[in-house]
Amino acid sequence: MKKLSITVLALIVFTSCQKQKIAFLDNGKVINEVELKKTVEEKYKKMEAALSQKTDSLKLAFQTEVQEASTMASKMRDQNKIQQLSQSFQQKEQMLSRQIQTDQQNLANGYRTEIDSVIKTVKIFVKDYGQTNGYDYILGTSDNTASVMYGKESTDLTEEIIKAFDAKNNK
């Protein structure tokens, strides 16, 4: 019984003294530098440029219409018809503004949704990477949060994670 107790105690001490594998990464750098995020950003820059071009075209067409209506109104004598024309253009301007605002909001919402998806994908990848490579913990740090105040450079997985993630997702 005494030998069994000593053996169990020795086993507990031995297992509790095993070194845990811990590393850290810079969350912001990983998210900002993976190719998937860069691809999403490029896609939305193109979409934003196209939307801006569409908006400029709509505004120009509206301004042209306003100028033509102004010329036409200056030749009118009936104040009621001038007022109706003016109200019609005010409504058109409001509708145009709402359409532009809606398009911009839809673009922004789409961007946020895709960036959230990238972040989720990176988190899942880091978890799988940690399990596959035998890490007990992978801590995250960024400028906004200081969960890791110091870490040896040899335990910084930031660049390794970026490269591994890009390699997996660019097949």
* Closest of 70, 169, 132 to residue 157, by C-alpha: 132
Q: DSSP H helical segments within 17-157, as ranges?
A: 27-33, 35-75, 79-132
Q: Does the reported pTM lie above 0.85?
A: no
Return the higher-pLDDT residue of 100 and 73: 100
Q: What is the pLDDT of residues 96-147, one digit of tens each?
A: 999 999 999 999 999 999 999 999 999 999 999 999 999 888 888 877 766 6
Query: How many residues in total does the chain contain?
Result: 171
CA–CA distances in Å: residue 108 to residues 44, 98, 105, 115, 119: 9, 15, 5, 11, 16
Quick one: average pLDDT of 40-45?
A: 97
What is the pLDDT at residue 3? 55
Is 78's pLDDT higher than 90? Answer: no
